[in-house]
Amino acid sequence: MDRFTQFALAAALQAAKDAKVEQGGEDVGVVVGSGVGGIITLLDQQQVLLEKGAGRVSPFMIPMMMINNAASQIAIRFHAQGYSSCPVTACASSLHALGEAYQVIHRGEARLMFAGGAEAPLVPVAIAAFANMKALSASKREPAQVSRPFDRNRDGFVISEGAGILVLEALESALARSAHIYGEIRGFAASTDAYHVAAPEPEGTAIVSMIKRALTSAGMIPEDIDYVNAHGTSTPLNDKIETLALHKAFNSHAKRLLVNSTKSMIGHLLGAAGAVETIAALLALERGIVHPTINLDEPDPDCDLDYVANRPRFQPIHSFLKLSYGFGGHNAGLIVSRYQG
pTM over 0.85: yes
Q: What is the mean pLDDT of each run of 10 residues along the chain (341 residues)?
A: 98 97 94 98 98 98 98 98 98 98 97 98 97 96 97 98 98 95 98 97 98 98 98 98 98 98 98 98 98 97 98 98 98 97 81
Q: Active-site residue among 91, 96, 291, 303? A: 91
What domains, with CATH codes, occur in the chain? 3-122+160-176 (3.40.47.10), 184-337 (3.40.47.10)
- In this prediction, residue 182 carries a pLDDT of 98
Determine whether 79 is an active site residue: no
Task: Decide: 333 and 211 in contact? Cβ < 8 Å.
Answer: yes
The set of residues, in sequence order, having a beta carbon less than 8 Å from that of 171 and lying 6+ positions away, is 184, 341
If we measure between CA atoms, which residue out of 135, 161, 156 comes closest to residue 146?
156
- Kindly give the interhelix angle for 69-78 and 3-19, rounded to the nearest 10 degrees: 40
If we measure between CA atoms, which residue out of 163, 161, 119 comes closest to residue 9?
163
Q: Left, alpha or beta for 169 (phi > 0: left; psi -120 to 50: alpha)?
A: beta
Determine whether 231 is an active site residue: yes
- In this prediction, residue 341 carries a pLDDT of 81
Hey, what amino acid is at 335? I
Q: Active-site residue among 86, 96, 268, 303? A: 268
CA angle 324, 107, 165 (to 5 degrees): 40
Q: Active-site residue among 86, 96, 231, 303? A: 231
Determine whether 91 is an active site residue: yes
